[in-house]
Amino acid sequence: MVGRLLSAAIYSFPKPTDQKNALPAPPHTGPVARIAASTPTFYRDVLPILEQHCQSCHRAGAIGPMPLVTYGQTRPWARMIQEAVRLKKMPPWFADPRYGHFLNDPSLTAQQIETLSSWTDAPAGDPHDAPAPRQWTDGWNIPQPDLVVRMPKPVEIPAHGDIEYTFEIVPTCFSRDMWVQMSEIRPSSRQSVHHAVVYIRPPDSRWLRHAPAGVPFTASSLTGEQDRRGAHATDSDMLLVYAPGSSPDHWPNGMAKLVPGGSDLVFQMHYTTNGHLGSDQTSTWNRLDLAVDQRQFCHSARR
């Protein structure tokens, strides 16, 4: 089921040069042409939508296949953008709106869809109409972190074949309980990662207790029957989950994710092959909230 959902999340944009009816060259290179007030322009109407809903993925160093930051980057894709937003394939979101509203829903409003759909002639407009550019942290979607946890050893990825779920255990060395308010996973080889889960293993947990720390391993590489079974199921809490296009976790003010002192973070990686040898060393960025009211904390329900 997870595989089907994640496969559905991938929308393939044809290259602009492959379109039979690709946009012609801009009609002018001098001063801003006179444009009807009702006609959407890039700087006034389109760019604010891209900044709010698209650039978290579509910018340099992020997961989107092309950046949508400048007029020159965006204009060749105008008709593909129209198709993607009309079909509601972009931005990706699969929760059914009939069953509640989610704070991190990136979906476009009907007016925003109409604006992008009407921008097929792709006028630039006046650059002075542009909003202030969004500030990003070197390819991440959260501010500068207090704590970076990276898998100690890279995982070598073959060019072909199936790959077992791969684990890597990383001690946090926390001497006391810590509270994480923002968290984000970033693979170093995004093209090889189908999805990833980072679990919190508290010090009293017996889960994978005999598995090696700091090196990659799979269920079949473990010698103990209990550990082999544990690689397929756990009641440990999750720090967060990553899939292509997923958003970071950001808890509301006054709430945070509890990581008990002495815990380990267990990276569970699902890799796929793509015909090329690869290597991945996934990391997670975290911002801590040392002032959180410890009566309010968030954790996943235990099974």
* DSSP labels, 55-119: TTTSSTTSSSSS--SSHHHHGGGHHHHHHHHHTT-SS---S-GGG---TT--PPPHHHHHHHHT-
> Given the structure tokens 């020159």, which residue do they identify?
72
* For residue 31, pLDDT beyond 60: no
Which pLDDT score is estimated for 68?
A: 96
Task: Say what the pLDDT of residue 37 is.
Answer: 67
Residue 20 pLDDT level (bands cut at 50, 70, 90):
very low
pLDDT at 104: 80
Rounded mean pLDDT, 173-198 = 93
Q: What is the mean pLDDT of residues 252-256?
A: 86
Which conformational region is residue 161 in: left (phi greater than 0), alpha (psi within -120 to 50 degrees), or beta? Answer: left
- Average pLDDT in the 85-89 region? 94
pLDDT band at 51 (very low <50, low <70, confident <90, very high): very high
Which of the pair, 232 or 291, is modelled with greater confidence? Answer: 232
Q: Where are the beta strands (DSSP E) in the chain?
A: 147-150, 155-157, 166-171, 178-186, 193-201, 237-242, 249-250, 257-259, 264-271, 278-280, 283-288
Is pLDDT of 33 > 70? Answer: no
Bridge partners of 157, per DSSP, are: 278
Confidence band of 28 (pLDDT split at 50, 70, 90) = very low
What distance in Å separates the CA atoms of residue 48 and residue 57, rounded to the nearest whole number?
A: 15
C-alpha dist (Å) from residue 32 to 103, 127, 129, 130, 240? 38, 9, 12, 14, 47
239: which residues sit within 8 A by CB, 6+ positions away? 180, 183, 198, 199, 200, 249, 257, 259, 265, 284
Highest mean pLDDT among 40-54, 62-76, 136-150: 40-54
Q: What is the pLDDT of residue 247?
A: 81
**Tokens, residue 228:** 């082999």
Lowest-confidence pick of 95-104, 117-126, 201-210: 95-104
More confidently predicted of 191 and 20: 191
Give the pLDDT confidence score for residue 2 in this predicted structure: 36
Question: How many angstroms separate the Cα of 259 from the Cα of each of 18, 98, 183, 231?
Answer: 49, 34, 12, 21
Report the largest interatomic distance among the alpha carbons of the chain, rounded to a whole angstrom: 74
**Residue 107: band (very low, low, confident or very high) from pLDDT cuts 50, 70, 90:** very high
Mean pLDDT of the chain: 84
Q: Is the pLDDT of residue 278 over 60?
A: yes
Task: With cut-offs at 50, 70 and 90, classify the pLDDT of residue 4.
Answer: very low
Is the model's pLDDT at 233 over the cut of 50?
A: yes
**CATH architecture under which domain 147-288 falls:** Sandwich (2.60)
Residue predicted with more confidence, 282 or 250: 282
Reported as a single tens digit per residue, the pLDDT across 131-146 is 999 888 776 788 888 8
Report the SS3 class of residue 178.
strand
Q: Which pLDDT score, from 0 to 100, does residue 291 have? A: 64
- Structural domain spans, the chain: 2-27+37-129, 147-288
What does the pLDDT read at residue 30? 46
